[in-house]
Amino acid sequence: MKHYDAIIIGAGQAGTPLAKKLAEAGKKTAIIEKRLVGGTCINDGCTPTKAMIASAKAVYQAKKASALGVEIGSVKIDFKKIKQRKDDIVEQFRASSEKGINNTKGLRLIFGTAKFSAEKELTIALNDGGEEMVTADWIFINTGAKTAIPEIEGLDEIDYLTSTTILDIESVPEHLVVIGGNYIGLEFGQMFNRFGSKVTILEKSSGILAKEDQDIASALTEILTDEKIEIITDVKIDKISQDKKQLHLSIQSGKTKKNITASHVLIAAGRVPQTADLGLENCGVKLDDKGHVLVNEKLETNIKGIYALGDVKGGPAFTHIAYNDYTIVYRNLIEKTKYSIHDRPVPYCMFTDPQLGRIGISEKEAKEKKLNYKVALIPMSQVARGIETNETLGLMKAVVDADTKEILGAAILASEGGEIMSVLQMAMEGGITYDRIRYCVFAHPTYTESLNNLFMKLDK
């Protein structure tokens, strides 16, 4: 039985850099990966989807180029080439990540499935056969999450797609039904609609983006429906069946019953942590009622020396949060700092077109907290850069403290919304109040320059 100073389970966006840094700090380290180095982000999430979304954006821009005086004619896609480009980028990123691990002195990469057999002991079912037992002083769980499969009659009898398997289809679906009207479902829905699919989005709540403010959700709903995407809300799916040619869904929307025929169904109704097969009952690590690993503010579980990072621990399920988890744990253990996850900023961006960049609290949250706040809002149709580039869909919105003039949060539904949001995040980090941004000198003509006009709305 081999003993290590540190073992990381899962070579995702927290596990891989942590393993390398621990090894570079002189710790004898192993990282165990059951599938592919790079985790969800590189293999099934950010990298492949954003590569394909870029292709979908090019289709859309080509079709609307006539508004800019450019006549392109018929626009055709080569889906095999789109998929190949995506696969090549994923392979490039994955190979680079794996090479980085293999070139790190004192770090061993093990391909296999790890399971706790005692508190600090793991049994690994090796991918190439056989079994190995290892122990460590520190163990880091970075096993991520997977698609949540809802309980729907007949679902287990059909060939449904997930956010992972849809990346491997060889042709554009004729009619794609997306179950779930949040970030994953909306990105895929718009993408395949632009590739030529008929798309229907089914959402169980009263509207898409249930966690966002109503004006943001309504604006995106209008944008998507204008692209001929069908959005059905208040949905209960009674049954799904399949014959040789098609899928059949029986649904209820409010009091209305409806039957939908589709070629493909994508499940995008949430994610669940991958903890079921870790044997955590053998080491005593506690889980919440949804299966997430419970951690304290320094990401340590109830068992000293066992930590959890990334999506498996619950909370915001974003790559950048997982990466920040790594930096907190590493600096605390090796550099003896005292960083915690308490009150850290949680920015995120949904890559629909236009993008939705978010930071801080929403207006809905400000209202629930009974804060003395004000809202600044400007439609993109009033943004000079947007008008010049024909990117006028969406809006900029900020929530500010009426007394201190601090920025409490922002939602930017706009072309390059994530980049604009990041400027406001930096202002929030630096304590820069909205009145200073109101008169700040930004380069003209940029999207960010319109933050002057956004906060000008608060002059009265």
In the three-class reduction of DSSP (H, G, I as helix; E, B as strand; rest coil), residue 239 is classed as strand
203 is annotated as contributing to ligand binding:
yes
Distance CA 273, CA 339 (A): 25
181 is annotated as contributing to ligand binding:
yes
311 is annotated as contributing to ligand binding:
yes
50 is annotated as contributing to ligand binding:
yes
73 is annotated as contributing to ligand binding:
no
238 is annotated as contributing to ligand binding:
no
Residue whose C-alpha is closest to residue 239's, from 153, 157, 160, 176? 153
Can you spell out the DSSP letters for 301-328?
Answer: -SSTTEEE-GGGG-S---HHHHHHHHHH
Distance CA 384, CA 398 (A): 19
Q: Which two tokens stand for residue 384?
A: 């000079």
417 is annotated as contributing to ligand binding:
no
424 is annotated as contributing to ligand binding:
no
Name the phi and psi angles at 388, rounded to 5: -65, -35
In the three-class reduction of DSSP (H, G, I as helix; E, B as strand; rest coil), residue 50 is classed as helix
Span between the terminal Cα atoms of the chain, in Å: 71
Active site residues: 444
184 is annotated as contributing to ligand binding:
yes
153 is annotated as contributing to ligand binding:
no
Residue whose C-alpha is closest to residue 309's, from 139, 92, 98? 139
Distance CA 317, CA 328 (A): 16
Binding residues: 50, 180-187, 203, 270, 311
Binding residues for NAD(+): 180-187, 203, 270
Binding residues for FAD: 50, 311
